[in-house]
Amino acid sequence: MDILLAEFVSSFLKESACPKDGRPEFAFIGRSNVGKSSLINMLTAKKGLAKVSGTPGKTQLINFFLINNQWYLVDLPGYGYAKVSKTQQKTLAAMIDGYLRNRKPLLLAFVLIDSNVPPRQIDLDFVNALGTAGTPFALAFTKTDRMKKTELERNVEAFLSELGKTWETLPPHFITSAQYRTGRPEILEYISKLLKNRPS
């Protein structure tokens, strides 16, 4: 897949306010500061499309980007640590849950996992919750350029091993680096495959 057009559409406070034109959607979500904006910009080859910030928790709305006039890339707020009040954290959690559980055009959610750290319970819990809810998802391990190959493989294998304790079939996973554009062809090809095979 070639991305020829990627443009910001709008931001929304809740799932029910999101576009109703029926275009398929692919959501991106991860723990705060996982490198989500950098990955989105890398995939779309459009620097600055998603705002990159050094402050965790900056994304607090459901952001829609139209890709090739065919499908939406959806940037969801991060979960976990963010410099917001407990009330705001609950609001964000409800926003995320409402979108992932109720959004009919959603074909897949990419859950971003920081490859630089051992498995974190917050990530495992989030992934398991998606499985329980029946939400289709894939994993994207980020920031893989920051460590040695052996360390990367160890952390990825450890995460998948933890999932393997409760999952019969592991979800698809991708190794990514925004700096070196690692994983871009594989993710875009996977998206293209899902678009072609989606029910009419």
Residue 107 in any domain: the answer is yes
Q: What pLDDT score does 51 carry?
A: 78
**pTM, 2 dp:** 0.94
What is residue 94's three-state secondary structure? helix
Residue 28 in any domain: the answer is yes
The distance between the two most distant Cα atoms of the chain, rounded to a whole number of Å, is 45
Q: Is residue 136 a contact partner of residue 109, using CB atoms and an 8 Å limit?
A: yes
For residue 52, is pLDDT > 70?
Answer: no
Q: What pLDDT score does 54 carry?
A: 53
> In which residue are the tokens 């050094």 written?
54
Residue 89 in any domain: the answer is yes
Q: What is the pLDDT of residues 141-182, one digit of tens each?
A: 999 998 899 999 999 999 999 999 999 999 999 999 999 999
For residue 58, is pLDDT > 90?
Answer: no
Residue 41 in any domain: the answer is yes
For 171, the domain range is 6-197
Beta-bridge partner residues of 6: 67
Long-range contacts of 130-136 (CB under 8 A, 24+ apart): 130/100, 131/167, 133/100, 133/101, 135/100, 135/101, 135/106, 135/109, 136/106, 136/107, 136/108, 136/109
Residue 83 in any domain: the answer is yes
Residue 1 in any domain: the answer is no
Structurally, the chain folds into a number of domains equal to 1
For residue 65, is pLDDT > 60?
Answer: yes
Residue 156 in any domain: the answer is yes
Q: What is the pLDDT of residues 14-47, one digit of tens each?
A: 999 999 999 999 999 999 889 999 999 999 999 8
Of 118, 25, 124, nearest to 76 by C-alpha is 25
Mean pLDDT across 109-133: 96
Q: H or E segment at 141?
A: strand 137-142
Other CB atoms within a 10 A radius of the CB of residue 118 amount to: 10
For residue 57, is pLDDT > 60?
Answer: no
> What CATH number is given to the structural domain containing 96?
3.40.50.300
Q: What is the pLDDT of residues 68-106, one digit of tens each?
A: 999 999 999 988 755 677 888 888 999 999 999 999 999
